Structure formats: C-alpha cells, structure tokens
C-alpha cells in the first residue's frame, strides 16, 4: 500500500487557446499540507478543480489513492465523496440553516439516514467551533462563520483530503484570522490538505511544501524556509517580495 492520497500526473487544461494548466504533476501523501500560491489568473483554481474532477482535465491523470479518476467509467460521485472542497466564494444554501447545510451534504453525498447525518453534522460544527450558529441562516452569520460552515461541510464526511481554494480571500483580516485558526486546528489533527492561499504567516507555520505556480505550471517548490530565505527563480523572488510587503502593510 502506498501512502499517496492524491496524485496529478502531467495534467493539462486549456480554455480555447489559453493554457490554464500545463503539464502539472504533484503527489500528496497522508498528513501532508501543501500550499499553492502565485499570481491571479495563473490557473491555481483550475488545477484544484481538476484535482477534484470538478473540471475535466484535457490530458493527464488524477489518482485518488490507487484509483485513476480520469479513466472512463469511474463513479465520480463516489470518488468526490472522498474529497472535501472549500471554495473561495462561499456557497451555502440561503434557505437552510448552518446545520441544514452540513446535514444536506451528508445526506446527498453519503446517503446517510437523517439521524446519523445530524449527529455527524453537529460533530463537524463543533470541530470548527460554530455550534452557536447551528440554527442560523447564512445571512445571519459573518463571512468568517459562513466559511467555517463551508469547512465543516467539507470535513463532515471524513474525506481523504481537503482541497481549499483561497478560503480567506473574500474575508477581511479579522475574519481571516478566525478561519486560519480553524485550519490550524485541522493541521494539528493531521488532516491532509492542498490549499491555495497567500496567507504567508500561516503557510510558514503549517505547510511542509510551498508550490509557486505561474502561467499554468509549477515554477518552483520548496519549504517555507526556502521561499522566505530566497527562492531561486526571478518570478518567485518578485512575487514573494510583493506579497511580504503587502502582508506587513496590513
Ligand atoms: N470556465 C472558464 N472558461 C474560460 N476561461 C476560464 C475558465 N475558468 C478560468 N478561465 C481562465 O483560466 C485562467 C486561469 O484561471 P484560474 O481561475 O484558474 O486562475 P487563478 O490562478 O485561480 O486566479 P485567482 O488568483 O484570481 O483566483 C484565467 O485566465 C481565467 O480567465
Ligand atoms: Mg483562483
């Protein structure tokens, strides 16, 4: 048995002439926390969506454990149930409470009976420390609370990996802190995560590997120390300088 939870092999995705993902390969092992960062429009979200098969790659393979998801005939709904996904813009059903949102995901994806779905939804809300919101509707919650409900929804079904696409970029700095605390707790528990984020202090604290992504490909990878001490490529150097200046101004 391999401890590789997820793998991309030579993945490509074009939108017309635009090469959004160009020959990207990556392996994520159990308990890994990897962080993808890079300029806007460079294809980070497209790659993450390809990993979850929410967007079909044009070429290349995606593996979940030993199962190749890009082969024809794979039950993608079943595979996606093992992947948690947290979006940049928070998608909660407006007509359902926090508890209802998490519960619905469990009932639809895992086909759990109502009682079991409720118990697991409550446990997930407790884990992200938002039980006080369980009976609130999305418009009665802060952005940070809503995003933590989104995280609860992703972890409730106990997935093999959680993919998070800039989970804090729509939030102001105070609410960002709340969501980062939640991610830090998940990291401590050994949750396997692939995160697109530009939260550098968080990256420094929890990521084993940072992946600098530009123009559809991986330009440079290394530990946070490597990137903070001085990456090799000019593009990563420039980007780090910009992002560190921005963080210290905030
Ligand atoms: N469904 C789509 N149809 C056509 N073009 C798309 C589609 N989705 C993304 N693109 C284009 O693909 C490129 C990569 O987009 P993507 O959203 O993956 O970038 P990103 O790195 O996540 O950017 P950001 O940091 O702003 O979120 C962009 O030029 C974008 O306009
Ligand atoms: Mg994006």
Calpha distance 184→164 (Å, rounded): 13
pLDDT, position 170 = 83
Nearest CA to ligand 1 atom 28: 41
Q: Which residues surround ligand 2, an ion (CB under 5 A)?
A: 45
Domain covering 4-82+160-249, topology = Rossmann fold (3.40.50)
Calpha distance 146→195 (Å, rounded): 18
CA of 135 to the centre of ligand 2 (A): 31
Nearest CA to ligand 1 atom 25: 40
CA of 99 to the centre of ligand 1 (A): 32
Binding site membership of 18 for ligand 1 (Cβ less than 6 Å)? yes
Q: Global pTM?
A: 0.94
pLDDT per residue as tens digits for the range 40-79: 999 999 999 999 999 999 999 999 999 999 999 999 999 9
Which residue's structure tokens are 């209802």? 100
Binding site membership of 46 for ligand 1 (Cβ less than 6 Å)? yes
Compute the C-alpha angle 235/193/93, nearest 5°. 105
pLDDT, position 169 = 87
For the chain, give every domain's residue range: 4-82+160-249, 92-159
Binding site membership of 40 for ligand 1 (Cβ less than 6 Å)? yes
For a mutational test of ligand 1's pocket, the pick from 14, 37, 44, 218, i.e. the residue with the most ligand atoms closer than 8 A to its C-beta, is 44
Calpha distance 156→125 (Å, rounded): 8
Question: Which of 146, 158, 151 is CA-nearest to residue 97?
Answer: 146
pLDDT, position 86 = 93
Nearest CA to ligand 1 atom 6: 15
pLDDT in tens for each of the 250 residues of the chain? 579 999 999 999 999 999 999 999 999 999 999 999 999 999 999 999 999 999 999 999 999 999 999 999 999 999 999 999 998 888 899 999 999 999 998 998 888 999 999 999 999 999 998 999 999 999 999 999 999 999 999 999 999 999 999 999 888 888 898 899 999 999 999 999 999 999 998 999 899 999 999 999 999 999 999 999 989 999 999 999 988 777 655 5
pLDDT, position 107 = 92
Binding site membership of 216 for ligand 1 (Cβ less than 6 Å)? no
Compute the C-alpha angle 202/80/185, nearest 5°. 25
């Amino acid at each position: 048995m391999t401890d590789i939870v997820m793998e991309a092999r030579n993945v490509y995705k074009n939108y017309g002439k635009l090469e959004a993902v160009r020959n990207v390969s990556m392996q994520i092992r159990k308990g890994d926390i990897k962080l993808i960062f890079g300029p806007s429009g460079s294809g980070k979200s497209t790659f993450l969506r390809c990993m979850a098969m929410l967007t079909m790659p044009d070429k290349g393979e995606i593996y979940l454990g030993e199962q190749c998801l890009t082969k024809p005939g794979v039950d993608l709904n079943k595979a996606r149930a093992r992947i948690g996904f947290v979006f940049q813009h928070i998608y909660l059903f407006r007509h359902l409470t926090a508890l209802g949102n998490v519960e619905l995901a469990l009932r639809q994806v895992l086909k759990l009976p109502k009682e079991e779905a409720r118990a697991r939804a409550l446990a997930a809300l407790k884990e992200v420390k938002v039980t006080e919101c369980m009976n609130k509707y999305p418009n009665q919650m802060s952005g940070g609370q809503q995003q933590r409900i989104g995280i609860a929804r992703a972890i409730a079904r106990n997935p093999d990996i959680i993919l998070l696409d800039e989970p804090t970029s729509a939030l102001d700095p105070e609410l960002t802190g709340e969501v980062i605390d939640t991610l830090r707790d998940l990291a401590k528990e050994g949750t396997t995560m692939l995160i697109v984020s530009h939260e550098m202090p968080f990256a420094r604290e929890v990521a084993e590997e940072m992946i600098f992504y530009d123009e559809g490909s991986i330009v440079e990878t290394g530990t946070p120390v490597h990137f903070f001490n001085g990456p090799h490529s000019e593009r990563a150097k420039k980007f780090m300088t910009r992002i560190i200046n921005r963080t210290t101004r905030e």
